[in-house]
Amino acid sequence: MKFEKIQAPKGVREYLPPESQSFEWVREQLIAPAKNAGYQLMELPVFEDTNLFSRGVGESTDVVSKEMYTFEDRGGRSITLRPEGTAGVMRAVIEQNLDRGQLPVKVWYSGQFFRAERPQAGRYRQFYQVGIEAIGTEDAALDAEVIAIADRGFKNLGLKNYRLEITSLGDAQSRAAHRVDLLSYIATLDLDEATAARAQINPLRLFDDKRPDMQAAMAKAPLLLDYLSPESASNFAAVQKYLTAMGIAFVINSRMVRGLDYYTGTTFEFVHPDLGAQSGIGGGGRYDGLMETLGGQSLSGIGFGLGVDRALLAAIAESTVPSQEFTSDLFIIPLGEGAKEQTLVIAANLRNVGIQTEIAFGDRALKGAMKAADKSGARFVIVLGEAELSAGAVDLKRMSDGVITSVKIDQLQEELQRALSL
Average pLDDT, the chain: 91
pLDDT of amino acid 271: 96
* DSSP code string of 1-44: -PPPPPPPPTTB----TTHHHHHHHHHHHHHHHHHHTT-EE---
Same domain, 28 and 54: yes
Say yes or no to pLDDT of 1 above 70: yes
Average pLDDT score over residue span 406-413 = 94
pLDDT of amino acid 259: 62
pLDDT of amino acid 204: 82
> Of the residues 265, 282, 317, which one is the last residue of a structural domain?
317
Which amino acid appears at position 157 of this protein?
Answer: L
The answer as to whether 257 is a domain residue is: yes
Domain count, the chain: 3
Share of the chain above pLDDT 70, in %: 98
Same domain, 163 and 183: no
Same domain, 71 and 89: yes
Say yes or no to pLDDT of 340 above 80: yes
Residues contacting 194, CB < 8 A, separation 6+: none
Instruction: Give 210's pLDDT tier (boundaries 50, 70, 90).
Output: confident
Instruction: Give 352's pLDDT tier (boundaries 50, 70, 90).
Output: very high
Instruction: Give 326's pLDDT tier (boundaries 50, 70, 90).
Output: low
Same domain, 142 and 261: yes
Q: CA 57 to CA 328: how far, in whole Å?
A: 44
Instruction: Give 337's pLDDT tier (boundaries 50, 70, 90).
Output: confident
pLDDT single digits (tens) 243-259:
999 999 999 999 887 76
**CATH number, position 417:** 3.40.50.800
At 121 the three-state DSSP class reads coil
Q: CA 313 to CA 99: how far, in whole Å?
A: 37
pLDDT of amino acid 198: 80
pLDDT of amino acid 172: 86
Same domain, 86 and 165: yes
Peptide bond into 230 cis (omega under 30): no
* Least confident interval from 29-38, 78-87, 374-383: 374-383
Q: What is the pTM of this model?
A: 0.89
Average pLDDT score over residue span 108-135 = 91
* Least confident interval from 101-110, 146-155, 211-220, 278-287: 211-220
Same domain, 305 and 334: no
Partners of residue 251 on adjacent β-strands: 165
* Least confident interval from 61-75, 135-149, 252-266: 252-266
pLDDT single digits (tens) 307-325:
999 999 999 999 999 987 6
The answer as to whether 322 is a domain residue is: no
Same domain, 115 and 207: no
Q: Determine phi and psi for 172, rounding to 5 degrees.
A: -60, -40
What is the residue range of 103's domain? 19-171+246-317
Instruction: Give 206's pLDDT tier (boundaries 50, 70, 90).
Output: confident
pLDDT of amino acid 269: 96
Say yes or no to pLDDT of 327 above 80: no
Residues contacting 390, CB < 8 A, separation 6+: none
